[in-house]
Structure 1
Amino acid sequence: MSEVDDLIARSNALIARTSERYLSTSARGRAHKRQDLMARLKRMIIAAVLVVVGAAVFGFVQPLGSTGLLIVMGLLLACVLFAFVPTQGSVTLAKLGETDLKALPLKTEMWLESQRKALPAPAIPILDAISNRLETLAPQLATLSPQEPAALEVRRLLSDHLPELVTGYQSIPAPLRGQPRNGRVPDAQLVEGLSVIEQEIATMTEQLASGDLDKLAAHNRYLEIKYQEAKELGG
């Protein structure tokens, strides 16, 4: 086996191990989609009920007639469109960087959700695991001052390191993502990087819970070095 074949084989083994590790968290992504669907359906039903009630009240005052019935039908048809309109607006990288610290975990989760289709299948369970971590982290940031060093490290991880890793991977042409590049395979590098970030969020959560903010700031500095390669991933 050549050195390149050996590198690819080891990268595939890493991807498989990491995917299996996070497979149980994939239900988180499905639950999020179900919640969004139920919110859309609820919005559609409420709008339709309001149209019907409004038409009934108006009918007591004045007959609707054929024109009125057409208007009501048109409004009911418009209500159906609510089932296809997302309940949350899209999050861009620019908006992510400007997001208030308290809302950053939710906005990061929304941004990751929008990136799913552009990432390889082994990365999806890790995204779900990150979403779980962000959900746990969010309440802890509610009482954390944005000027705290720990707050700056949280923001750097979620709005800098994580997006840079993902966008760096996406900038690589799809046929080359499974091939060795500078001694690394981009698919494996993405999976490994996301796994490290997921664990780092878990560490942040534990240290915030224990009040060890100085330790969090010091521990997190190594990411500046480790994820410098994320900036160069698509270079």
Structure 2
Amino acid sequence: MADPDIILSRNADRLDRLARGEAAQRARSRNRARTQASFARRFRRALIIASVLILAPILYGLVIGPIGTTALVLLVLFGAMAIMAGFIWDGSAPSAQKLDAATIDVLPTVTDAWLHAKRRELPAAAGPKIDAISAHLATLEDQLRNQTAPNDVTQDIDRLLKKHLPELIERYTKVPQAQRTADPSLGATLVSSLTVVERELHRASLKLAEGDRDAVIIQGRFMEERYGEGEGPLR
């Protein structure tokens, strides 16, 4: 007969893998939506710049007169550069200052966008942890959306996302790339620290939902005691 502890351990491992896979899938969906929104925003900006560059010489010619060949060539050159800059530049990523100014109800959303922008500066090994953190942030978005009064849990989340996580990422990215490559322990330390962040966000989410979970259990017991097998009074 199989050892129950072994069976429980295997089931726990399976559930953990499923949870990680679900977290990665949710994170990929969020990243895909964010990338599409960024592309649409940059394309719209480039389109506006192109429209202005086309209309400006036309209006100038109608009101004042022809702009001349040299001015037209310069306009085309600088216009092409402006369109490329408008399409490439994406100013939507929040800064660390915006993180610090965010209220608790929008902090998970702002943090997720900031992490997404920072991801390219982090080692590939940190990717799964960033995905897991992103999934926890998505859950916390719903839980904190209507949160007004501060409590111990929200204060922990606020401190973690505004201070400790940004400091960790910023200090890692300040290390020159050559030194990061030469010392793999830096990347390993980063991944280990991100694991702690993931675990703390999960713990905070469980704590926030604790009251509702207890209420479900109490209500379930009440229903069982009152109605039993369906023979209780309906009043």
Query: Same fold per TM (> 0.5)?
Result: yes
Q: Assess, with a 3 A threshold, how the Cα gap between structure 1 residues 168 and 55 changes in structure 2: closer, same or farther.
A: closer
Give 1 or 2 for the bigger CA radius of gyration: 2
Q: Distance in 2 between matches of 1:69 and 1:133?
A: 53
The aligned amino acid for 1:85 is: W
Q: How many residue pairs end up in the alignment? A: 191
Q: Assess, with a 3 A threshold, how the Cα gap between structure 1 residues 144 and 20 changes in structure 2: closer, same or farther.
A: closer
The aligned amino acid for 2:33 is: A
Say yes or no: does 1:86 pair with 2:87.
no
For the aligned residues, what is the CA RMSD? 4.0
Q: Distance in 2 between matches of 1:137 and 1:90?
A: 19
Shift of 1:141: 4.0
Hey, what does 2:189 align to over in structure 1? 186
Hey, what does 1:41 align to over in structure 2? 43
Matches within 5 A, 1:71-82: 71-73=74-76, 74-82=78-86
Q: Distance in 1 between matches of 2:156 and 2:72?
A: 59
Q: Assess, with a 3 A threshold, how the Cα gap between structure 1 residues 57 and 187 changes in structure 2: closer, same or farther.
A: closer
8 Å contact 2:45–2:86 — kept in the other structure? yes
Structure 1 unaligned regions, length at least 5: 1-12, 180-184, 213-235
Hey, what does 1:177 align to over in structure 2? 185
Hey, what does 1:25 align to over in structure 2? 26
Deviations 1:183-232 (A, max 9, x none): xx636623532431442354366469x599xxxxxxxxxxxxxxxxxxxx
8 Å contact 1:166–1:190 — kept in the other structure? no
Deviations 1:116-160 (A, max 9, x none): 234343431332343344345346545433645454233123223
Q: Assess, with a 3 A threshold, how the Cα gap between structure 1 residues 81 and 205 changes in structure 2: closer, same or farther.
A: farther
Q: TM-score, structure 2 length as denominator?
A: 0.60
Structure 2 unaligned regions, length at least 5: 1-12, 215-235
Matches within 5 A, 1:1-235: 22-27=23-28, 28-61=30-63, 62-73=65-76, 74-92=78-96, 95-138=98-141, 141-145=144-148, 147-163=150-166, 166=169, 175-177=183-185, 186=189, 189-190=192-193, 192-200=195-203, 202-203=205-206, 206=209, 210=212
Q: Distance in 1 between matches of 2:130 and 2:189?
A: 17
8 Å contact 2:99–2:111 — kept in the other structure? yes
Q: Distance in 1 between matches of 2:80 and 2:206?
A: 50
Q: Assess, with a 3 A threshold, how the Cα gap between structure 1 residues 204 and 159 changes in structure 2: closer, same or farther.
A: farther
